Amino acid sequence: MKIDFSQSADRTMTQQLAIEGGDKVRSQPMPYRRQFGQAELDMVTQVFHDSWQKGVDFGFQDIYERRYTEAFCTLQGGGYADAVSSGSVAIYLAIKALDLPPGSDVIVSPVTDPGCVSAILLQGFKLVIADSEPDSFNAGPEQFEKAITERTQAAVLTHLGGHPVEMDPIRQIASRHGIRLIEDCSQAHGALYQGKRVGRFGHIAAFSTMFSKSHASGGCGGLVYTENEELYWRVRSLADRGKPFHDPNYDPKNPCEFLFPSLNYNLDELSCAIGLSTLSRLEETISRRLEIAHLINEGLAQCKAVHPCSARPNQLPSLFFHTVQVDIDKLQCSKEEFARAIAAEGISINPHYRYVLAEWPWVRPYCVQAAQTPNAVSFRDRTFNILFHERYTEDDIADVIASIQKVERFLVEC
Ligand SMILES: Cc1ncc(COP(=O)(O)O)c(C=O)c1O
């Protein structure tokens, strides 16, 4: 696909900025992703028909969960997976499965979702927030090592925006200190690091499969993934009221045999059927998103102050959004105002990513020390995230670039 971006510049030559009342570059909404289409409806219908045929209502832990988790493990290249009710629950269970001693400190990424943080805090652990590497939202090895305390027992590392964390050096440091690693792959389904899928570098991993993710099992959902069979059985028990699933002779109707107190975190058969269907498109989704990001980057060559972020040769990201850098010294306003003006032209961007957790007041009482993550803040303050998906067309990409070019004409120093 080749896009002629020179025409998009002409379209925006004389207008006023949309944020100041001018016409928008893009008057139609950006395209609907339609993650759940006919294929997913057919799968759900099949679950109903199967149950009517069998004369048993569908529930959970049946054939669709088996097929879904097997397909997921095939994609990962081995291992074990359990489908659960959300990504936050998946992280909660992954941590719980490690049976950390009370009073442990847990390292967390500088930029992540509140569900990831709460999964740690609700188990009574204290947080140490590692800073990111320069020019990245992901925790870096040097920053990870600095965050280690005497009581650090585990770390939950988020592959943010679909970009894998530099896991090899972090793994080496963690293993020297006996620190268990949990990967939060919620925004990076299928991403490759050193040729291997994320989720295979720590002891255990969690994925959110809510509707907005690269593959989804419905409105809400999650997966816990590990290559360690013992951890897998523990997750299974934790996810379903302590049932001893590892014992082939266990009697589900005899709670005397259950192992410990726990809640029901299962994902039901309908959701697993949807997950199975969208998972079959994941590889295509990843490559189409990479192609679109590449085309956006090509278009940025026409821009004065907005530039692509540098790529890492040892990774193949699975993009959740597309982060671009702004040369803030060239702006006549703040980065946030600049990015808001671009958004006002009718394209989907997040002008100022607010997921830097050192800035959340509710987290501070749980931190071992005053949390400061200057690299993460600096990267956020020099970037904005283009929110996009695999259904973007050449016209949509051209509108993204045209919006940036138009705003640059008004807000970038000559
Ligand atoms: C990085 C990350 N971690 C955890 C979560 C929590 O997942 P869920 O919303 O499915 O509980 C999300 C969801 O948005 C996420 O993006």
How much distance in Å is there from the Cα of 67 to the middle of ligand 1?
A: 23
Confirm or reject: Cβ of 183 under 6 Å from ligand 1.
no
Judgement on whether residues 22 and 75 belong to the same structural domain of the protein? no
Residue 325 lies in a domain: yes
Transcribe 169-196 into DSSP letters.
HHHHHHHHHT-EEEEE-TT-TT-EETTE
pLDDT for the residue 12:
56
Percentages helix, strand, coil for the chain (3-state, rounded to 5) are 40, 15, 45
Are the beta carbons of 87 and 224 closer than 8 angstroms? no
Distance CA 350, CA 361 (A): 21
Please state, as a whole number, how many other Cβ atoms lie within 10 Å of the Cβ of residue 206. 33
The helix/strand/coil state of 58 is coil
Q: At 11, is the pLDDT very low, low, confident or very high (cuts 50, 70, 90)? A: low
- pLDDT tens digit sequence for 34-47: 999 999 999 999 99
Cα–Cα distance list, 82 to 92, 220, 263, 323 (Å): 13, 15, 15, 31
Range of the structural domain that residue 302 is part of: 5-26+282-411
The total domain count for the chain is: 2
**Any idea what the CATH number is for the domain that residue 218 is in?**
3.40.640.10
**Any idea what the CATH number is for the domain that residue 335 is in?**
3.90.1150.10
Residue 252 lies in a domain: yes
**Residue 368 has which token pair?**
């071992």
How much distance in Å is there from the Cα of 358 to the middle of ligand 1?
A: 18
115 CA closest ligand 1 atom index: 6
pLDDT for the residue 259:
97
Confirm or reject: Cβ of 116 under 6 Å from ligand 1.
yes
Judgement on whether residues 56 and 157 belong to the same structural domain of the protein? yes
Percentage of the chain beyond pLDDT 70 is 97
Residue 290 lies in a domain: yes
Confirm or reject: Cβ of 266 under 6 Å from ligand 1.
no
Q: Give 351's contacts (C-beta < 8 A, 6+ positions apart).
A: 335, 336, 339, 340, 342, 343, 384
pLDDT for the residue 370:
82
Q: At 10, is the pLDDT very low, low, confident or very high (cuts 50, 70, 90)? A: low
Distance CA 274, CA 175 (A): 38
Judgement on whether residues 203 and 147 belong to the same structural domain of the protein? yes
Residue 32 lies in a domain: no
Q: Give 103's contacts (C-beta < 8 A, 6+ positions apart).
A: 124, 125, 126, 151
Cα–Cα distance list, 46 to 37, 113, 269, 272 (Å): 14, 34, 11, 12
Residue 31 lies in a domain: no
How much distance in Å is there from the Cα of 408 to the middle of ligand 1?
A: 34
pLDDT for the residue 3:
74
Confirm or reject: Cβ of 109 under 6 Å from ligand 1.
no
Confirm or reject: Cβ of 348 under 6 Å from ligand 1.
no
Judgement on whether residues 372 and 315 belong to the same structural domain of the protein? yes
Judgement on whether residues 96 and 132 belong to the same structural domain of the protein? yes
Judgement on whether residues 157 and 299 belong to the same structural domain of the protein? no
Distance CA 38, CA 163 (A): 30
Judgement on whether residues 311 and 189 belong to the same structural domain of the protein? no
Judgement on whether residues 307 and 223 belong to the same structural domain of the protein? no
Confirm or reject: Cβ of 138 under 6 Å from ligand 1.
no
Q: Which of 163, 187, 198 to mutate to test the pocket of ligand 1 (most atoms within 8 A of CB)?
A: 187
Judgement on whether residues 214 and 84 belong to the same structural domain of the protein? yes
Judgement on whether residues 260 and 292 belong to the same structural domain of the protein? no
pLDDT for the residue 15:
76
Question: Average model confidence (pLDDT) for the chain?
Answer: 96
Give, using CA atoms, the residue closest to atom 8 of ligand 1: 87
How much distance in Å is there from the Cα of 354 to the middle of ligand 1?
A: 14
Judgement on whether residues 213 and 245 belong to the same structural domain of the protein? yes
Confirm or reject: Cβ of 208 under 6 Å from ligand 1.
yes
pLDDT for the residue 8:
57
Residue 51 lies in a domain: yes
E strands in 124-266: 126-129, 152-158, 180-184, 192-193, 196-197, 204-208, 222-226
- pLDDT tens digit sequence for 273-303: 999 999 999 999 999 999 999 999 999 999 9
Give, using CA atoms, the residue closest to atom 10 of ligand 1: 87
The helix/strand/coil state of 54 is helix
Judgement on whether residues 143 and 167 belong to the same structural domain of the protein? yes
| Tokens 């009221």 belong to residue | 241
Task: Tell me the residue type at 401.
Answer: I
- pLDDT tens digit sequence for 139-198: 999 999 999 999 999 999 999 999 999 999 999 999 999 999 999 999 999 999 999 999
pLDDT for the residue 411:
97
Residue 33 lies in a domain: no
End residue of a domain, out of 225, 245, 279: 279
The pTM score is 0.97
Q: Which of 84, 85, 86, 88 to mutate to test the pocket of ligand 1 (most atoms within 8 A of CB)?
A: 88
Confirm or reject: Cβ of 87 under 6 Å from ligand 1.
yes
Residue 86 lies in a domain: yes
End residue of a domain, out of 279, 304, 325: 279
CA 360, 190, 86, 179 torsion: positive or negative? negative
Give, using CA atoms, the residue closest to atom 9 of ligand 1: 87
Q: Which of 111, 116, 215, 217 to mutate to test the pocket of ligand 1 (most atoms within 8 A of CB)?
A: 116
Q: At 4, is the pLDDT very low, low, confident or very high (cuts 50, 70, 90)? A: confident
- pLDDT tens digit sequence for 343-392: 999 999 999 999 999 999 999 999 998 889 999 999 999 999 999 999 99
